[in-house]
Amino acid sequence: MIAAPSGKGDKHVARYASFLLPDGKSSFGRIEGDSLVELATAATPSLKAALTERRLATLGDGARHALADIVLLPVIPDPAKILCVGLNYAEHVKETGREQKAHPAIFTRYADSLVAEGQPMVKPTATTRFDYEGELAVIIGKPCHKVGAADAMDHVAGFACFNDGSARDWQRHNIQFTPGKTFPGTGGFGPAMVTADEIDDLGSQRVQTRLNGELVQDQPVSDMIWDIPTVIEYISAFTPLNPGDVIATGTPGGVGDKRTPPLYMQAGDKVEVSIGTIGTLANRIIDEQ
């Protein structure tokens, strides 16, 4: 059974999720308590389409489904771009022993590396160092290219929880992070998008990760080195961003790879990423089959 996402005033906070119906058809809708109100139409079949057409706030209510009867998908199942920020909290930079650079560190993920709330994250057979990284994900709502930081938030549709599951050994084969960051099924994304206007004080939202119930990461969004407007300005300077594109904004200190002894995710573990009003993303770990 899929529990309704947690957060302050759940019934008043607009949460939008992508999901599979019992017949296998993909759809999207608005979570209300333990139900999900379908919003998809023939003309607007997905959350990404609703953002692209700027119709999210005007779509009429369709069928109501019990959350227990549907399977969630990643918030945006098919983002054209997933861009990730590395080393964006000072505590994480310190624990890695890396030098703080003058610009954000950016790497990419692929859509097939994502799994939804309640679905298993897959520990690749190629790694013995599968690590958690709780993060805030930003979902783009309006196209932007070469946008300034002052206007960047106007292009944000909302936020979700993200777990940037990392094969640390593959991440460090060379200077590029991507090989360790995009094995299929290694990244959690969900459970739902909370629209940007629902967050009164984004900086006070705490990124918290729990592994088997133990709190292993806990820092406020305000601790980011590169805040979200700056990240959007930097990324949009070299690539256009479009509705449904996703930016994972970096992980706090406390990653398993830098603990003594190291603390890696193993099959059977449960990992949860909670971000205040935005909700909680929970995934079990399984071995790659």
Q: What is the pLDDT of residue 5?
A: 43
Query: Same domain for 116 and 152?
Result: yes
**Residues 51 and 165 placed together within one structural domain of the fold:** no
Is residue 119 domain-shared with residue 164, that is, in the same domain? Answer: yes
Check whether residue 61 and residue 96 sit in a common domain.
no
Q: CB neighbours (10 Å) of residue 178?
A: 14
- The Cβ of residue 16 has, within 10 Å, a number of other Cβ atoms equal to 24
Write down the residue that tokens 């005007």 correspond to: 58
Q: Can you tell me whether residue 34 is helix, strand or coil?
A: coil
Say if residues 220 and 56 touch (Cβ distance below 8 Å).
Answer: no
pTM (two decimals): 0.94
- CB-based contacts of 274: which residues, under 8 Å, 6+ apart? 6, 134, 161, 206, 208, 209, 210, 280, 281
**Same domain, yes or no, for 25 and 122?**
no
Say if residues 109 and 84 touch (Cβ distance below 8 Å). Answer: yes
Verify that 27 and 155 share a domain, yes or no. Answer: no
Residues 173, 43, single domain; the answer is no
- 47 close to 189: Cβ distance less than 8 angstroms: no
Query: How many whole angstroms separate alpha carbon 100 and alpha carbon 79?
Result: 29
pLDDT of amino acid 47: 98
Domain coverage including residue 24: 10-72
Residue 46 in domain? yes
Distance of CA 23 to the CA centre of its chain: 26
Same domain? 162 vs 41: no
Below-70 pLDDT ranges, the chain: 1-11
Cα–Cα distance measured from residue 108 to residue 272, given in angstroms and rounded to the nearest whole number? 22
Q: Are residues 270 and 241 in the same domain?
A: yes
Specify the pLDDT at position 31.
96
pLDDT in tens, 64-93: 999 999 999 999 999 999 999 998 998 887
Q: Is residue 2 part of a domain?
A: no
129 plus 54 within the same structural domain? no
- Which pLDDT belongs to residue 128? 97
Q: How many domains does the chain have?
A: 2
Residues 130 and 266 in one domain: yes
